[in-house]
């Protein structure tokens, strides 16, 4: 997963486009960010929360989406349980034929 691709997906789902899929995916990533893990790196967890809140305030801001994606990917790199959950979220979105994952070659 690269932050630019994840960021593009985040901006698409944060904007929602009125879709049920976007709402489900946004709820999923929000729950993932807020979910406590056994060994969460505290700074990474706080960074994820802050970047999620920033994107919620400006859902069309690609910079904020990439910033959230960067902290998600960084946290996944240091927390195996979080990485599995993030990969599960990513896989669920990719599995939907009407999803926002337009760049399948970039995961």
pLDDT value, residue 42: 52
User: DSSP 3-state helix, strand, coil percentages of the chain (rounded to 5)?
Assistant: 75, 0, 25
Question: Considering the chain, what is the average pLDDT of its residues?
Answer: 79
Phi, psi (deg, nearest 5) at residue 106 = -105, 20
Global model pTM greater than 0.85: no
Number of helices (H), then strands (E), belonging to the chain: the values are: 5, 0
Determine the Cα–Cα distance for residues 81 and 83; give it in Å rounded to an integer.
5
Determine the Cα–Cα distance for residues 39 and 74; give it in Å rounded to an integer.
14
Structure confidence by residue, pLDDT tens digits, 37-85: 655 555 666 778 889 999 999 988 999 999 999 999 988 888 888 899 9
Which helix H or strand E contains 59, and what residues bound it?
Answer: none
């Amino acid at each position: 997963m690269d932050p630019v691709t994840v960021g593009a997906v985040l901006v698409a789902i944060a904007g929602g486009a009125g879709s049920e899929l976007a709402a489900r995916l946004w709820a999923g990533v929000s729950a993932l960010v807020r979910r406590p893990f056994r060994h969460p790196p505290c700074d990474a967890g706080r960074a994820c929360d802050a970047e999620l809140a920033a994107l919620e305030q400006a859902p069309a801001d690609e910079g904020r989406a990439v910033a959230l994606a960067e902290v998600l990917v960084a946290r996944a790199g240091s927390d195996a349980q979080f990485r599995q959950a993030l990969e599960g979220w990513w896989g669920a979105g990719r599995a939907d034929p009407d999803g926002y994952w337009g760049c399948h070659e970039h995961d």
